[in-house]
Amino acid sequence: MTQLKNDRLLRAIAGEPVDATPVWMMRQAGRYLPEYRALREKAGSFMALCQNADWACEVTIQPLERFDLDAAILFSDILTIPDAMGLGLYFEPGEGPVFQHRVTSKADVDALPELDAETDLGYVMRAVSTIRRELNGRVPLIGFSGSPWTLATYMVEGGSSKDFRGIKRLMMESPEVLEALLDKLAKAVTDYLNAQIRAGAQVVQIFDTWGGALSPHAYQAFSLRYMQRIIDGLIREHDGRRVPAIVFTKNGGQWLETMADCGADCLGLDWTTNIGTARQRVGDRVALQGNLDPSTLYAPDDVIRSEVQRILAEWGQGSGHVFNLGHGVHLDVDPDKAKVFVDAVHELSQDYHQF
CB neighbourhood size of 239 (10 A) = 13
132: helix, strand or coil: helix
H-type helices in the chain, by residue range? Answer: 8-13, 34-43, 46-51, 53-66, 80-82, 106-111, 117-120, 122-135, 148-157, 165-173, 175-199, 216-219, 225-232, 256-259, 275-282, 301-315, 335-349
Residue 209: how many CB atoms within 10 A of its CB? Answer: 20
Q: Kindly name the residue from 8, 32, 132, 154 that is annotated as catalytic.
A: 154
DSSP 215-249: -HHHHIIIIIHHHHHHHHTS--EETTEE--EEEEE
Whole-angstrom Cα distance, residue 312 to residue 276? 9
154 a known binding residue?
Answer: yes
Give ∠ CA 194-199-203 in degrees, rounded to 5: 60
- 133 annotated among ligand-binding-site residues: no
Q: Is 154 a catalytic residue?
A: yes
Catalytic residue flag (residue 27): yes
d(CA 237, CA 253): 29
Residue 196, exposed/middle/buried by CB under 10 A (0-12, 13-18, 19+)? buried
Q: Is 183 annotated as a binding residue?
A: no
Task: Please give the Cα distance from 41 to 285 (Å, whole number).
Answer: 44
Out of 11, 27, 229, 305, which one is annotated catalytic? 27
Q: Which residues contact 200 (CB under 8 A, 6 or more apart)?
A: 128, 129, 131, 132, 133, 141, 239
Residue 272 annotated as part of some ligand binding site: no
CB 86 within 8 A of CB 148: no
Active-site entry in 68, 77, 116, 183: 77
How many Å apart are CA 321 and CA 279, to the nearest integer?
Answer: 9
169 labelled binding-site residue? no
Question: Exactly one of 8, 32, 36, 40 is catalytic; which is it?
Answer: 40
Detail the residues annotated as belonging to a binding site for substrate.
27-31, 77, 154, 209, 327
Residues with catalytic roles: 27, 31, 40, 77, 154
Detail the residues annotated as belonging to a binding site.
27-31, 77, 154, 209, 327
